Structure 1
Amino acid sequence: MSKVFIVTGASRGLGLAVAQILIQASHKVFLVARTEKNLQQLKTQHATSVDFMAADLADLKVAPKIIDSAVRAFGKIDGIVVNHGVLAPITKISESSVEEWRHAYDINVFSALALIKEAIPELRKSQGRVVFVSSGAAFGAYAGWGSYGTSKAALTHLCTHLAVEEPSITSVAISPGKVDTEMQRQIRDDGKSGMSPEIHASFVDEHESGKLLDPKKPGNVIAKLVEGATSNLNGKHYRWNAAELANFQGA
């Protein structure tokens, strides 16, 4: 049976992979990202199963418009993949701007909170699911990654709180690993000055040696979780390839 999902950060990388997998599974997908061109392309290819809004989620007034538009387009919401986020600033705390941190939190935390808050009534109706895209950086620390790591930690804990307060909605946080996306390119290109030399070099090496993940691998797990995550996963965090998610890792 066809379900309706919202996917943020859906114009490229991991979000695009998740959206494509859901579309291929005959679901309806409402796409959100800043870049309209790629969203329009998917809409053109899948006219009846895709709609979208090109928007900057850091503008918190956008959240109710997204929920309203998704319900208008497809009648309900069965799940949300909170995938959007920014890495910048890649700067040590001593050299950083508090305003840059505030902007990162607006995107990585507050925009997600605004979207989920608006979606709760619809997700209660559908006993829906939310998958938060977290990061290993939420649990460790790299020099220069303070705003990213701490904001992803906040996002991951938001998942836990949502699970406690809304038990009819299954919420899961997933770390997708090192995926071959624009964010990895940004680490290689912009991270040298803010990161420790050996850690930065390790990211460069993983790219050059072909060790970065194809977005479809964690994307497949995320798509299957938003489609059918079970209640025993509620409020928990997992790496995309964790043994506990074996049922969601098949082709």
Structure 2
Amino acid sequence: MSASIPSANPVVLLTGASRGLGLSVANLLLSNPSSSVNVISVSRSKSSQLSQLEEDYPDRFVAFQGDVSSESDNAKAVQLAIQKWSRLDALILNAGIANLSKIQDLTAESFAHQLSVNTVSLITTVRAALPYLKKAEPQGRVVFVSSGAAVGATAGWCAYNATKAAMNSICRTLANEEPELACFAVRPGVVDTDMQTQIRSQGTSVMSPSEFERFIKLHEEGKLLKPELPGSVIANLAIRGSRKDPVGSDGKGIGEVGGFVNWDAAELKGFRDSF
């Protein structure tokens, strides 16, 4: 690890960056031509893609291998960011798993594991980062990568639905408790990631026929979203999202109320510019 480098550039901690949407967001942050963003990722595995990013951006990217639900691992990751760049401006909470199972077959152990990875990790990461986020100027930002599952009832997705609903609740509560922070829960849509591959291979046994067929058709018709589309919104919110803007239909800032918002919502038009 290099010596501490005072940095005026935004520093973002990103969980779940080893593949899929998280990896796309990491690439977007690092390749952003308008702002030299520094990134530390936290993931259980260190993919070859993350190792390549470390080679490509040795002064601006650190891939920390750790468990997002571990208090000590989160504390270590946050301290690495502080040691290297002397600040932490934003979190992107993207880590998550989806083990498909009907409720009648969902064991306590499986449910608890998904809660740990998808929900407990949110608290452990936020708690470790909070003292530094509250010092960020003009304000700290926390972007929760949510899902339509948060308000859905898809068969076979009980644990995933429940954990994403809990995520939205945590986002709202954090926004209410911490007036220094801008908090967003972003629904990224149906993205072409490994989860879609998992649905196509496993969903037929646990999902209703109509729900399963919907995802099959989206894939066959080429309608799955490229990760960089919602990824650009997530990255932009982490870099320049604010508590007061964008304003939702209720006249309040989405970041002020910790609102749940679609990546392609009209309110986020200004955050969909390409990198």
TM-score, normalised with respect to structure 1: 0.96
Matches within 5 A, 1:22-171: 22-25=29-32, 26-36=36-46, 37-88=48-99, 90-126=100-136, 127-171=139-183
Distance 1:4 1:95 in 2: 42
Distance 1:71 1:216 in 2: 28
- The SS at the match of 1:112 is helix
Q: Deviations over 1:59-101 (max 9, x none)?
A: 343221111112112211010100110111x111112101101
Q: Is the 8 A contact 1:51 1:73 kept in 2?
A: no
Distance 2:87 2:204 in 1: 45
Report the more deviating stretch, 37-46 or 156-165.
Answer: 37-46
Distance 2:227 2:148 in 1: 16
1:141 maps to amino acid:
A
- The SS at the match of 1:170 is strand
Uncovered stretches (5+) of structure 1, i.e. residues with no partner: none
Report the more deviating stretch, 211-220 or 30-39.
Answer: 30-39
Shift of 1:115: 0.4
Give the 4+ runs in structure 1 shifted more than 6 A.
none
State yes or no: 1:5 paired with 2:12: yes
Number of residue pairs the alignment of both structures matches: 250
Q: Is the 8 A contact 1:43 1:50 kept in 2?
A: yes
Q: Deviations over 1:136-169 (max 9, x none)?
A: 0100110111100010000111000000110111
- The SS at the match of 2:234 is helix
2:30 maps to amino acid:
I
2:101 maps to amino acid:
T
Distance 1:143 1:130 in 2: 30
- The SS at the match of 2:161 is helix
Distance 2:205 2:76 in 1: 39
Distance 2:70 2:22 in 1: 20
Q: Deviations over 1:37-77 (max 9, x none)?
A: 32211101111111120122233432211111121122110
Q: Is the 8 A contact 2:141 2:242 kept in 1?
A: no
Q: Quote the residue 1:205 is aligned against.
A: 217
State yes or no: 1:248 paired with 2:274: no
Distance 2:203 2:108 in 1: 18
- The SS at the match of 1:76 is coil
1:53 maps to amino acid:
F
Distance 1:27 1:225 in 2: 13
Shift of 1:2: 1.8
Q: What RMSD, in angstroms, separates the aligned Cα atoms of the two structures? A: 1.1
Report the more deviating stretch, 15-24 or 216-225.
Answer: 15-24
Shift of 1:109: 0.4
State yes or no: 1:17 paired with 2:24: yes
| Identical amino acids, percent of aligned pairs | 40
Distance 1:71 1:182 in 2: 32
